[in-house]
């Protein structure tokens, strides 16, 4: 894999970092946009995957629920195919370098940059004055997550694009402000490259094809949870909003049909097929025929993850041991990088 933007300047190893928040239940968007791709990358590069509990508390979390959500995301990481020996799996609060580097980045990032973040505007809603300071500074913590490991590649869904651009701006400004003062350190941090590829970078709500599938939507029927029972999976797909037309035989025919496009995209991503390939099979079919096929595919793909995650959740000590081991390996990479950062900034 090439790292086009900074191939010539940044000399360090290629490394993947990404994270998922332990808030609410994981859904199909999290799987197709992120976790499924984490699993593939594990075969190609050094991979570090975090359960971002420090990010979670930027909005209120019940402590007991947070505790179990951290284990649940870890269980799903493993159930979906991440191997804790091959990838480093840990929760963010166990590695203090994240919070320390985030503070330094809070002093590098500009108010104007953070003011432009659409996710803050969406999450804070009308009552901005009442949002936590952490929610505003959320993107600097994200930059710290990535850059504490000098990660070069970051697989995420489409909704994280703006945050990743900000991480690159922070890396660039840090390199200019501090790296340029010391010969050889001008490219101290890589400019991390977002990996927003894949067949489903933006899975949409099952009830409204113009909105992304999201943990925060008040209706459960808008999203497929990875923990859904077979019956719930089938019911949600059966009740998904569609239009009255039959399916087209090529993907060009999905234009202006967002709900149809979403269901075909989900089918293709779950089956590792292209949309055109799926439509060559279902072109001309009504949704009454397509939806049961999609439900069968979703159950066949997702039920084993759910069952495996349940099994893992029954042994919480083992999950805790995996997180502890991952945190120790994460610290071994991040601590020396943080020590260099502190030195560059001028701390004794
Ligand atoms: P989070 O927890 O909201 O989502 C986890 C991942 O799932 C992706 N995603 C989607 N992909 C496709 N379609 C959707 N409807 C959909 N909904 C969510 C997200 O893009 C994400 O990749 N800020 C991040 C967590 C984070 C992080 C990081 C990511 C913290 N530090 C450093 C990368 C690098 C977040 O809130 O993800």
Q: Do 177 and 321 lie in a common domain? A: yes
Residue 57 has pLDDT above 80, yes or no: yes
Q: Which atom belonging to ligand 1 lies closest to the Cα atom of 157? A: 20
Q: Do 198 and 240 lie in a common domain? A: no
Note whether residue 207 is domain-resident: no
Q: Do 150 and 232 lie in a common domain? A: no
The CATH number of residue 196's host domain is 3.40.50.620
Please give the structure tokens belonging to residue 328. 């120790």
Residue nearest atom 16 in ligand 1 by C-alpha distance: 29
Residue nearest atom 7 in ligand 1 by C-alpha distance: 30
- Predicted local distance difference test score (pLDDT) of residue 1: 44
Q: Do 189 and 251 lie in a common domain? A: no
Distance 203 CA to ligand 1 centre (A): 12
pTM given for the model: 0.96
Distance 299 CA to ligand 1 centre (A): 23
Please indicate whether residue 9 or residue 290 has the higher confidence score (pLDDT).
290
Axis-axis angle for helices 316-345, 63-79 (nearest 10): 100
Mean pLDDT, range 170-192, rounded to an integer: 96
* Average pLDDT score, the chain: 96
Confidence of residue 3 (pLDDT cuts 50, 70, 90): very low
Residue 99 has pLDDT above 70, yes or no: yes
Question: Alpha-carbon distance 270 to 311, whole Å?
Answer: 23
Confidence of residue 197 (pLDDT cuts 50, 70, 90): confident
Distance 303 CA to ligand 1 centre (A): 22
Contact 123 CB / ligand 1 (< 6 Å): no
Residue nearest atom 17 in ligand 1 by C-alpha distance: 29
Note whether residue 126 is domain-resident: yes
Tell me if 191 sits within 8 A of 10, measured CB to CB.
yes
Q: Do 183 and 144 lie in a common domain? A: yes
- Predicted local distance difference test score (pLDDT) of residue 59: 96
Please give the structure tokens belonging to residue 340. 């260099």
Mean pLDDT, range 117-137, rounded to an integer: 95
Domain that holds residue 133: 6-202+316-345
Instruction: Specify the number of domains making up the chain.
Output: 2
Known catalytic membership, residue 215: yes
Q: Do 249 and 142 lie in a common domain? A: no
Known catalytic membership, residue 212: yes
Q: What percent of the chain lies above the pLDDT cut of 70? A: 98
Q: Do 182 and 276 lie in a common domain? A: no
The DSSP H or E segment spanning 47 is strand 46-51
Note whether residue 51 is domain-resident: yes
Residue nearest atom 5 in ligand 1 by C-alpha distance: 20
Q: Do 65 and 170 lie in a common domain? A: yes
Q: Which atom belonging to ligand 1 lies closest to the Cα atom of 212? A: 15
Closest CA to 148 of 347, 340, 10: 340
- Predicted local distance difference test score (pLDDT) of residue 8: 56
Note whether residue 256 is domain-resident: yes
Q: Do 323 and 275 lie in a common domain? A: no
Q: How many CB atoms lie within 10 A of CB 51?
A: 26
Of 36, 94, 212, 275, the active-site residue reads: 212
Q: Which atom belonging to ligand 1 lies closest to the Cα atom of 159? A: 20
Mean pLDDT, range 272-300, rounded to an integer: 97
Mean pLDDT, range 202-208, rounded to an integer: 97
Q: Which atom belonging to ligand 1 lies closest to the Cα atom of 201? A: 12
Note whether residue 272 is domain-resident: yes
Distance 281 CA to ligand 1 centre (A): 32
Q: Do 102 and 87 lie in a common domain? A: yes
Note whether residue 118 is domain-resident: yes
Mean pLDDT, range 188-193, rounded to an integer: 98
Show the DSSP H helices in the chain as ranges. 28-30, 36-42, 53-56, 63-79, 97-106, 111-115, 118-124, 133-147, 161-177, 230-238, 258-271, 275-282, 287-313, 316-345
Q: Give bridge partners of residue 212 from the DSSP assignment.
A: 204
Of 123, 173, 308, 342, the active-site residue reads: 123
Mean pLDDT, range 109-129, rounded to an integer: 95
The CATH number of residue 283's host domain is 1.10.240.10
- Predicted local distance difference test score (pLDDT) of residue 156: 98
**DSSP track, 153-170:** EEE--GGGHHHHHHHHHH
- Predicted local distance difference test score (pLDDT) of residue 199: 86
Note whether residue 214 is domain-resident: no
Note whether residue 289 is domain-resident: yes
- Predicted local distance difference test score (pLDDT) of residue 173: 98
Please give the structure tokens belonging to residue 125. 């809603």
Q: Do 45 and 80 lie in a common domain? A: yes
Q: Do 254 and 159 lie in a common domain? A: no
Distance 181 CA to ligand 1 centre (A): 35
Question: Alpha-carbon distance 17 to 46, whole Å?
Answer: 9
């Amino acid at each position: 894999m090439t790292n086009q933007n900074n191939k010539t300047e940044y000399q360090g190893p290629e490394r993947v970092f990404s994270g998922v928040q332990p808030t609410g239940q994981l859904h199909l968007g999290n799987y197709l946009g992120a976790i499924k791709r984490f699993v593939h990358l594990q075969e190609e590069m050094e991979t570090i995957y975090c359960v971002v509990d420090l990010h979670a508390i930027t909005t209120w979390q019940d402590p007991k629920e947070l505790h179990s959500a951290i284990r649940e995301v870890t269980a799903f990481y493993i159930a979906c195919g991440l191997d804790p020996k091959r990838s480093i799996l840990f929760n963010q609060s166990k590695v203090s370098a994240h919070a320390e580097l985030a503070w330094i980045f809070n002093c590098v990032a500009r108010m104007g940059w953070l003011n432009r973040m659409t996710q803050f505007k969406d999450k804070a809603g009308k009552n901005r004055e009442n949002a936590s300071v952490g929610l505003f500074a959320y993107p600097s913590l994200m930059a710290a997550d990535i850059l504490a490991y000098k990660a070069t590649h970051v697989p995420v869904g489409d909704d994280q694009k703006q945050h990743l651009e900000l991480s690159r701006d922070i890396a660039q400004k840090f390199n200019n402000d501090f790296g340029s003062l010391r010969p050889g350190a001008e490219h101290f941090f890589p400019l991390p490259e977002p990996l927003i590829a894949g067949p489903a970078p933006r899975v949409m709500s099952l009830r409204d094809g113009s909105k992304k599938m999201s943990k925060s939507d008040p209706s459960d029927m808008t999203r497929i949870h990875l923990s859904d029972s077979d019956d719930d999976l089938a019911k949600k797909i059966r009740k998904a909003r569609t239009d009255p037309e039959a399916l087209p035989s090529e993907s060009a025919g999905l234009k202006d049909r967002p709900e149809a496009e979403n269901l075909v995209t989900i089918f293709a991503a779950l089956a590792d097929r292209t949309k055109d390939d799926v439509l060559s099979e279902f072109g001309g079919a009504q949704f009454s025929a397509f939806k049961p096929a999609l439900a069968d595919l979703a159950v066949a793909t997702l039920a084993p993850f759910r069952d495996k995650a349940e099994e893992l959740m029954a042994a919480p000590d083992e999950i805790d041991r995996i997180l502890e081991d991952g945190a120790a390996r994460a610290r071994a990479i991040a601590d020396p990088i943080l020590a260099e950062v502190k030195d560059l900034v001028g701390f004794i």
